[in-house]
Chains A and B, each alone.
Chain A
């Protein structure tokens, strides 16, 4: 157990729907990162929050949004889902820049 908790582990949903993925960071970590891993692609950075504020943004689609709450857990919202959104979504946490990242076990999203 890495200490980073992601729920749910698996999610199957239809096109056009909206889902919410949840992440609880490791105790003491203030930064939360979201990554998407599709087949044949490496991990793609989506967005980062630090202590409740958005810190960095990657190639995140406008249909996707995220937030970090006062208790530091984070949620990634994916809406108007398309077949191509099917992927593994990872959350990682860190105490700060340059201290390495710990990944959760991911949420496998399947859009049918």
Chain B
């Protein structure tokens, strides 16, 4: 059965710290891996990764995919209180339009 596992489940840090969130997957016919940030309601899109070893970057956030070891990491540098959220990892298999989500990592950033 296809599955996505995220770790840690929860993370508490101080502003300015750097965090790494992990996502491993077991999916038949992998197409892409996506990261979302969920604050109070709707998940908002961060990155879509399809190729191994190519880092995607947006400001203080970056992500990379390893298709051989079946995992991805999301890095956030110089964290701010506004980064507090649940970060969701999802995988999209080929030949299907659904996303398989992990349960998320809850990040809390304190001043």
Contact = CB atoms under 8 A, between A and B. Distances in A.
A98 B99 contact: no
Contacts of B48: 100
B97 interface: yes
A55 B97 contact: yes
Interface stretch (A12-20, A66-74, A75-83, A103-111): A103-111
Interface stretch (B10-18, B37-45, B64-72): B37-45
B42 A43 contact: no
Contact of B44 (A35, A41, A42, A103): A103
B42 A98 contact: no
Where chain B touches its partner, the secondary structure class is: strand
Nearest to A99: B48
B64 to A, nearest CB: 18
Interface residues of A, number: 28
Contacts, number: 60
Interface residues of B, number: 23
B60 interface: no
B98 A41 contact: no
Contacts of A42: 4, 88, 101-104
B7 interface: no
B103 A41 contact: yes
B96 interface: yes
Contacts of B43: 43, 90, 103
A48 B96 CA distance: 10
A103 B97 CA distance: 14
Given A33-B97, A35-B101, 12 more contacts: A31-B97, A42-B103, A45-B100, A56-B97, A97-B92, A98-B92, A100-B34, A100-B48, A103-B36, A103-B44, A105-B41, A106-B41
Interface of B: 4, 31-32, 34, 36, 41-45, 48, 88, 90, 92, 96-104
Interface of A: 2, 4, 31, 33, 35, 40-45, 48, 50, 55-56, 58, 88, 90, 94, 97-98, 100-106
**Which 4 interchain pairs have the tightest Cβ spacing?**
A42-B101, A42-B103, A43-B101, A103-B42
